[in-house]
Amino acid sequence: MVSLTLTGGTFLTMAEHLSQRELDYPFKLLEYFNGFRISEAIFSACELGVFDLLLQSQKPLSAVEVAQKLGTSEDGIERLLDVLVAIEIVDVEVVQGTAFYSSTDVANLYLAKTSPKSLHDLIIYNSQTIYPLWNNLVDAVREGKNQNEKTFGLPSEEIFSAIYRFKNVFIKCARSSRFASYVILRCVAGCSGALARELAKEYPSSTVTVLDLPAVVQTAQQHFAQQDDTICFQEGDFFEGEIPPADLYILARIIHDWKEEKNLKLLKNIHTACHPGGGVLIAEALLFENSRGPTMVQMFSLNMLVQTEGKEHPPSHYTHLLTEAGFRDVQVCRTGKSYDAILALK
């Protein structure tokens, strides 16, 4: 039997970490390595428009009706719908031997395009960008670098070129995620402007500046139709260009993309530009200090390997980084959701 040697000379067998039921038959392992099939089923249903069709329908639909409306094979769509029923995303009722499918509240809220909480664009982004990269995970682990070149034929140092192949999808994807003046650096700085809009609503007397690369700003403005004098977009490179002065800087999902030296340079630039008494708010997914999770954050960190040059970190890393950049009073808040918060003052 395989054994593990722990600090202090204690020996524990693998069996002590697994239930007897799992040893008798590997239910959990089978669930894990078949997980990609569930992802692909959801990706495919979104791309085909299954959830939008079921939401818009006034009545449950048979597989034949769904196939006719979506232009698919009857057999293929029936098998896909049955999987969606099995994972409780779609409902089914059998009447006189015919299955009729309808949407669930979860699918209507998160998977249909028209919902204000829709994850549809995020799913398409994962399907078209993240999933192909993970096909080269073995090479990423061996080489210790992202797989943009092998997957998309793009230079590995241009980590966002792959993302911007589907720029409009990425901008819409960013929109679905959520003092006196703010500068927002989100998803390579400001990205969609969705966070800016929410801040402007919550703090109408504030001025919000969204700083991002020129191509991203131009695309974001197309998705930001209404005029709002409290929000402005500024084109720039936050590593090399000038950072506008502000009371609070919001960096959402930026630090995990880059190596430590780049992040330190960015935070020092922000510290220099920040008004006295101001600060920086970082939104990132935090690892535990003991390297035991959370599982989803560890998966995020592995994704950073295949896609970027960064990784996820525990709170101590951010405390060290912010302190070295000149900030003080670092506070960490685990939100229990996808992203946590780190606040530091100048």
* Active-site annotation, residues: 256
d(CA 179, CA 206): 7
Cα–Cα dist 126/131, whole Å: 6
With H, G, I as helix, E, B as strand and everything else as coil, classify residue 315.
helix
Taking phi over 0 as left and psi of -120 to 50 as alpha, with beta for the rest, 144 belongs to left
Contacts of 159 (CB under 8 A, 6+ apart): 146, 148, 257, 307, 308, 309
Residues in contact with 118: Cβ distance below 8 Å, sequence separation at least 6, in sequence order: 109, 110, 111, 112, 176
Any residues with CB less than 8 A from the CB of 99 and at least 6 apart, and which? 62, 63, 78, 81, 82, 92, 93
Q: How many CB atoms lie within 10 A of CB 245?
A: 14
Report in angstroms the alpha-carbon separations of 253 from 2, 185, 339: 40, 9, 8
